[in-house]
Amino acid sequence: MLFLTRLLPSFLVAWLLSFTIASLFHSQYVVNQLVNVGVAVPLADRLNVMAQDWLGMITTYGVIIAVALAIAFTVANWLSKKYAISRDVWFTFAGIAALATVLIAFELIMKINVIAGARSWGFYTQLLAGAAGGFVFSKVSAALTHK
**pLDDT by 10s per residue, the chain, length 147:** 565 567 888 999 999 999 999 999 999 999 999 999 998 899 999 999 999 999 999 999 999 999 999 999 999 999 988 988 889 999 999 999 999 999 999 999 988 888 888 888 889 999 999 999 999 999 998 887 765
Whether this prediction's pTM lies above 0.75 is answered by yes
Amino acid type, 31: V
Q: Supply angle C-alpha 75, 25, 139, rounded to 5.
A: 40
Alpha-carbon span 130 to 73, nearest angstrom: 11
- Of 58, 37, 55, 39, which Cα lies nearest the Cα of 47? 55
Find out whether 69 and 22 touch, Cβ atoms under 8 Å. Answer: no
pLDDT of the residue at 4: 57
Alpha-carbon span 83 to 104, nearest angstrom: 27
